[in-house]
Amino acid sequence: MGSLATVPMGKYTRIKTGKLDANASSTEGAYPFFTCSKEPLRIDSYSYDCECVLVAGNGDLNVKYYSGKFDAYQRTYIIEGTDKQTLDTRYLYYFLDKYVEKLREQSIGGVIKYIKLGYLTEAQLPLPSLQVQQQIADVLDRASALIEKRKAQIDKLDLLVKSQFIEMFGDPVVNPKGWEVKKIGECLVKIENGKSPNCEAFPATSERQGVLKLSAVTYGYYQPQENKQLLPDTAFDSQIEVKDNDLLMTRKNTYDLVGMSAYVFSTRSGLMLPDLIFRLIPKEIINRIYLWQLINCDLFRDSIKRLASGTSGSMPNISKERLKSLCIPIPSSDLQTQFADFIQQVEVQKSLLQQSLSKLELNYKSLMQKCFRGDIF
């Protein structure tokens, strides 16, 4: 951390975990309920009333700041400063928001990774004066606010797309517009999936070939940077290379995320499909962009989830045969095309915002590096 003196984080913090199961949440609850998910749930009662930093003890290991009444899941770490004159809690949040990268490297376990308490107590915390800590937190607050503003603009475009889908086609489950309904297997030329060879742990450089990770599709938008570089002695299979205009769908994931889809507006060359992602090749009766939005439609997600099967404790899986049995509404080709044209226009705006967001996030990371090296104050 450069010239800044460091101390073990446990020296100036008190760390405990929540006590509740995830199913303790209540949709209309008055208080936040922090679990390992990025977004908090709600709950009717609270066990804590403090200013603290919360670290997800397993899963994606995200970090949150909160001040007030709340409750927490049993695998969520609740970290409080023990001396307000020595350690600013917002500063601690930003330190851990950066340090979470190290925690991910340290995490252990099988399908669901987790961290031990010692990984937090032994973390080396740079500790400048309280005034400098507060200045750093103020600077990073402003940078973070710009990022959140840009994300909110992107979210508004996503909501616009969702509302346009319902306006044009109606609820795909109730089908109030009376569209013809067919099994998706009748509407596809074929369903392809790729291979998952052993790969490097890092993404492929621009000159090298790679295999997509599940996270390239998981959240409903194509993210080509989510890949792993092929080992030098592993052959690239051009038959399963990802192409522009591909429609991709995850076949295995958590119950909430299984069967999510992404449309490939454009992609770099040299990326292969993994075994856990389907490529859907529709017949002319179905527009790929319409099908993408249908699969991800909130009102239709339960129909997708019901296709998944798996043993207790495993990741649910959707087989090709079960997917082919899914019944979907088929609007007129003209209406599907109109909707696809609308999506293409929105995507242009969204792409510009995404580029701006990427720059803001890069600047934020650079700013954090400088702050915690002691290069700014």
Domains of the chain plus CATH, in order, are 6-127 (3.90.220.20), 129-171+332-377 (1.10.287), 180-330 (3.90.220.20)
CA contacts within 13 A on the Cβ side of 47: 14
Whether the Cβ atoms of residue 87 and residue 15 lie closer than 8 Å to each other: no
**E-strand spans in 57-196?**
63-72, 76-81, 124-126, 180-183, 188-193
From the number of C-beta atoms within 10 Å of its C-beta (0-12, 13-18, 19+), residue 101 rates as exposed
Coil/strand/helix, residue 37? coil
Tell me the pTM.
0.78
Give the Cα separation of 83 and 11 in Å (integer): 10
Per-residue model confidence as pLDDT tens for the chain (377 residues): 456 789 999 999 999 999 999 889 998 999 999 998 888 999 999 999 999 999 988 877 899 999 999 999 998 999 999 999 999 999 999 999 999 888 888 877 665 667 889 999 999 999 999 999 999 999 999 999 999 999 999 999 999 999 999 999 999 999 999 999 999 999 999 999 999 998 998 999 989 999 999 999 999 999 999 999 999 999 999 999 999 999 999 999 988 899 999 999 999 999 999 999 999 999 999 999 999 999 999 999 999 999 998 765 568 999 999 999 999 999 999 999 999 999 999 999 999 999 999 999 999 999 999 998 888 77
Would you say 297 and 220 are in contact if contact means Cβ atoms under 8 Å apart?
Answer: no
Closest CA to 298 of 180, 183, 153, 161: 161
CB 41 within 8 A of CB 81: no
Residues 6 or more apart whose CB falls under 8 angstroms from that of 110 comprise: none
Q: What angle do CA 321, 326, 327 make, to 5 degrees?
A: 145
